[in-house]
Structure 1
Amino acid sequence: MRLFKELYHNKGTIFSFAKNDFKNRYAGSYLGIAWAFIQPLMQILIFWFVFQVGFRTTPVEDVPYIVWFICGMIPWFFLSEAIMGGTMSIVDYTYIVKKVVFNIKILPLIKVLVSSFVHLFFVVLLFVICALVNMSFTLHAVQIIYYSICIFVLALGLSYLTSSLVPFSKDVGQVVSIVLNFGFWLTPIVWNQNILSPTLLTIFKFNPAYYIVQGYRDALVYKVWFWERPLSTLYFWVAVIIIFFLGKFIFKRLKPHFADVL
């Protein structure tokens, strides 16, 4: 709670840095910040073409594959981008860590917040696509807000953990990238979880990203409230609290040494 109070009191600085970070990321290119939307959009189109056109994937449970697919792909984009950005936050802002008296606790949050800007655009795109294929919306769709918060908190907790280790070993960033690549294929984003045996499915549910991806589909496709999956919801938040506590603890212990090793 102390951490969240500090972040709230620094909200002006956080949003200012996040806005500048978002603008500067693509500074110098002709299309500018448009690349932040073009790159993930191209990835979605490539995956859709490979699985829908190439492999001739059929609708999943009478839901158009493109809708079912992007319901998993969009939250994964947010999660992976936020974790990678948060992981490198201390290194990216080395000049602040080394030369200025600055509350560096907000640096991972800035990177996660930047990723949420792009995510908002793709959530709107998701609703547009659902409307184009004549999918009906119910009140369950408001859960997108809840599951977006789930991604935000999970990514922030992991970012505190990984960002505190990167200054001591740049290899951590590469390891995180590899783990995210494995995580993409170990999460039912492009494949249907129904192909798994009950035992394997139980194991896969230990992946926190599973809860989020399934949640987006529950909100728009299956029309299921998150409290109707009490065990999954309880497990997710217990896992997030543990990750957040561990990440914050390690960050606090290593923070005094950041300037020395950067």
Structure 2
Amino acid sequence: MAQVATYALVLSRIMAAKLPGIDNRYAYVIYLMAGMIAWSLFAEVVNRSLTMFVDNGNLMKKMAFPRVCLPIIIGGSCLVNNLLLLVTAVGVFLLTGQPLSWVMLWLPLLMAINLAFALGLGLILGVLNVFVRDVAQVMTVVLQLWFWFTPIVYMPSIIPDRLRAVLEFNPMMHMAVAFQDVLLYGRTPGIPGLLVIAVAAAVLLLFSLVLFRRAVPEMVDVL
């Protein structure tokens, strides 16, 4: 929320003009919050997954338990945090006069896809970080760059057409836009964009589970 407030104070006058058709002086704040709800779940899951096996190395060596519990616990706790952020955002929407719509019923599906995508990527990176400890440090920088390549602080419409075509390959762009469609514009999220990240989430999650299952014995030895 502090990050949203900072961007809103600095950029609201500039970016508000880029949101045509929204009759709300706080439109940019709502736009920001919608994008941050999408990003915060993804970033928190990935960040915590990066070191989940390294941090719990002693536990994995000394106790016999389903190792898959670790990403499940992380995913669950991050989801709770995201739900609390969503509740706070809804409170802000009500205070600023932003109408709530039935399309918010899309939010559980959007959050599920977002969580699956983040867990899939996070699990892969968490396994790799056991064997190559620099992965966590590199991903910290990558996530910062990834944030700025996702239309959360700015609108896709201000990006030149050539660069906008590149953004289409960013799954988190489609997720952020979907949240903005639902929470700001009160419309159904674009199905093609949603399918892109849903397919990416399914592929990543399946691959990560296969990789994790095969890597567990070696991970315990390395840890």
TM-score by length of 2: 0.91
Work out whether 1:119 is the aligned partner of 2:82. yes
* Amino acid across the alignment from 2:215: L
* Amino acid across the alignment from 1:156: L
- 2: CA distance, partners of 1:201 / 1:121: 32
Compute the displacement of 1:147 (Å): 1.1
Out of 169-178 and 184-193, give the one that drifted further. Answer: 169-178
Q: Name 2:191's counterpart in structure 1.
A: 230
Kept after mapping to 2: 8 A contact 1:90/1:108: no
Task: Give structure 1 stretches of 5+ with no counterpart.
Answer: 1-40
Give the counterpart of 1:176 among 100, 120, 139: 139
2:16 is paired with a residue whose SS is coil
Work out whether 1:260 is the aligned partner of 2:218. no
Count of aligned pairs between the two proteins: 218
- 2: CA distance, partners of 1:152 / 1:49: 30
Task: Give structure 2 stretches of 5+ with no counterpart.
Answer: none
Q: Which structure ranks higher in relative contact order (CA pairs < 8 Å, sequence separation ≥ 6)?
A: 2
Give the counterpart of 2:11 among 51, 54, 58: 51
Compute the displacement of 1:129 (Å): 1.2
Note the alpha carbon deviations across 1:11-50, whole angstroms, 9 max, x for none: xxxxxxxxxxxxxxxxxxxxxxxxxxxxxx2222222222
Kept after mapping to 2: 8 A contact 1:82/1:111: yes
1:182 is paired with a residue whose SS is helix
Q: Name 2:110's counterpart in structure 1.
A: 147
Q: Name 2:59's counterpart in structure 1.
A: 96
- 1: CA distance, partners of 2:151 / 2:72: 27
1:164 is paired with a residue whose SS is helix
- 1: CA distance, partners of 2:122 / 2:14: 38
- Alignment root-mean-square deviation, CA: 1.7
Note the alpha carbon deviations across 1:199-254, whole angstroms, 9 max, x for none: 4323212211112111111112222223xx33222222221122122212221221
Work out whether 1:106 is the aligned partner of 2:80. no
Compute the displacement of 1:56 (Å): 4.5
Identity of counterpart residues, as a percentage?
Answer: 25
- 2: CA distance, partners of 1:197 / 1:45: 27
Out of 239-248 and 125-134, give the one that drifted further. Answer: 239-248
Q: Name 1:188's counterpart in structure 2.
A: 151
Kept after mapping to 2: 8 A contact 1:86/1:111: yes
Compute the displacement of 1:162 (Å): 0.8
TM-score by length of 1: 0.78
- 1: CA distance, partners of 2:117 / 2:173: 12
- 2: CA distance, partners of 1:234 / 1:44: 28
